[in-house]
Amino acid sequence: MKWLILSLFLTGLVTAKAPNIILIITDDQGYPAVGANGTSWLRTPNMDKLRKTGTAFDRFLVSPTCSPTRSALMTGRHPMKNGITHTILERERLTLNAVTLPQTLAKVGYHSGIFGKWHLGDEAEYQPEKRGFEETFIHGAGGIGQAYDSSCADAPRNKYFDPVIRHNGRFVKTKGFCTDVFFNKATDWIGKMKDGKEPFFAYIATNAPHSPYIAPDGSKKRFLDMGFDNPSAGFFGMVENIDENIGKLMTKMDEWDLWKDTIVIFMSDNGMAGNVCNEGKVLGKDGEIEILGYNANTKGHKGSLDEGGARVPFFIRWDGQIKAGKTVNQVVAHIDILPTLAEIAGASLPDKQVEGRSFWSLAKEENAEWPDRMLFDHSARWPKGANPDDFKWKNFSVRNSKYRMVGKEELYDMETDPAQKKNIAAEHPEIVAKLLSAYEKFWNETRPLMVNEDAPLSKERPYHVWYERQLANGGIPLDDGAK
């Protein structure tokens, strides 16, 4: 019998179940706002534990703002090649020609659920249930209660406490703080999926700690007592609340014995919010405590083309497969997530779409090769109706393993000068020319794919229309998981 089982495995008739995947992505947290990354007065024991029990990618780079990063994660290619050049004005919509991460995983049997923030299009055809997610539990726009003069808007009058959430296409009223609500729903879904014959992908995308900086009183009180102003106390309180929810999820994973069967990733979507990243000291009860603007020896914050706009925490844990306590210092990026998870899951990559590459070898091997390459960023966000070509040489950056080029005039050696204190462009004109030439090639490839530039603003806000229609036809029920 033993030889028969071995033979079946060798001939492919019996295959092991691919690992489950839980990807947690926070909003505006950035690299510094994790205790283990140097913010000593911030208590994040569970984020710290993920770092300690998994592998940390210490130079993980994303885009300077949220929709671009989320689109790169979902597609494995640069955001502007997904048509995304803003976070509003119909320019946050993920091109319908893209194959998403859950669609890729579905081909090898994965079931996918999203809990929290989507922000890749609020119109019906752009919603996550049309992009590969079977279970959807989301707010609209870029944040709870947001509303702009376009389709990008959440349910009307929505709040961080007891928010109205769109669950599988129908609005429900929830109870509690938004982050708690999202994690509770995700955990319930994971509990239902964990014993299935097929693997699951849970995408937990919090709107916190994005502004407005609203946190439960118990989460921000400690910071107010220390002397932080109310917005800063709200921001860091939201981070600690996220950490508490990660801890609850980790406890359930212990209880369910899922660590050997599940990859867990923690990351943020862009650099730390700038208004809690300003220089200045806080005076607490015991005197001066810390520089509020601690930025991990990195220049810039959210929206910046400097390293601080793009550097985020990235921890990955898979017990028995990934070494605990390891740190990877190679430059890895958001476009690499889809090809990595596809490799692990045994899924084929979408044809002619993915420009990232799998970093799985970096996670599991000590001296894996990682050839150099160019990474490009552009803050975009030009005015509606403007010609993108007029902004080609404004607000862009080029990054490889050693250098960061910011605009046409600034060059930094990121190995010897990670804080970007010395501009060496004048000393290395040949490097400047090489990086600018690569950027021009990138722009010329990208420009035809900016498909949202001529899109007219929507005449209606879909979430408002759907909400009012449901309100008039039976109302908004209490979520069945609300407590």
Q: Are residues 190 and 56 in the same domain?
A: yes
SS3 463: helix
Evaluate whether residue 481 is within a structural domain: no
Q: Are residues 413 and 279 in the same domain?
A: no
Q: Are residues 56 and 191 in the same domain?
A: yes
Q: Render the burial of 29-53: b for 16+ CB within 10 Å, e for the rest.
A: bbbbbbbbbebebbbbebbbbbbeb
Q: Are residues 100 and 207 in the same domain?
A: yes
Number of structural domains (the chain) is: 2
- Size of the chain in residues: 483
pLDDT at 31 over 80: yes
pLDDT at 113 over 90: yes
413 lies in which domain range?
A: 375-449
Evaluate whether residue 458 is within a structural domain: no
CATH (domain of 412): 3.30.1120.10
Q: Are residues 272 and 421 in the same domain?
A: no
Q: pTM here?
A: 0.95
Contact 126, 377 (CB under 8 A): no
Please write the tens of the pLDDT for every residue from 294-352.
788 899 999 999 999 999 999 999 999 999 999 999 999 999 999 999 999 999 999 99
Task: Identify the pLDDT of residue 12.
Answer: 40
Lowest-confidence pick of 63-67, 277-281, 379-383: 277-281
Q: Are residues 140 and 159 in the same domain?
A: yes
CATH (domain of 135): 3.40.720.10
Q: Are residues 276 and 405 in the same domain?
A: no
> How large a percentage of the chain has pLDDT more than 90?
87
Q: What is the DSSP letter of 478?
A: B
Q: Are residues 356 and 421 in the same domain?
A: no
Q: Are residues 127 and 185 in the same domain?
A: yes
Boundary-marking domain end, from 323, 345, 364: 364
Evaluate whether residue 457 is within a structural domain: no
Tell which wins on pLDDT, 416 or 231.
416
Q: Are residues 162 and 247 in the same domain?
A: yes
Evaluate whether residue 12 is within a structural domain: no
Evaluate whether residue 431 is within a structural domain: yes
Contact 241, 216 (CB under 8 A): yes
Q: Are residues 325 and 383 in the same domain?
A: no
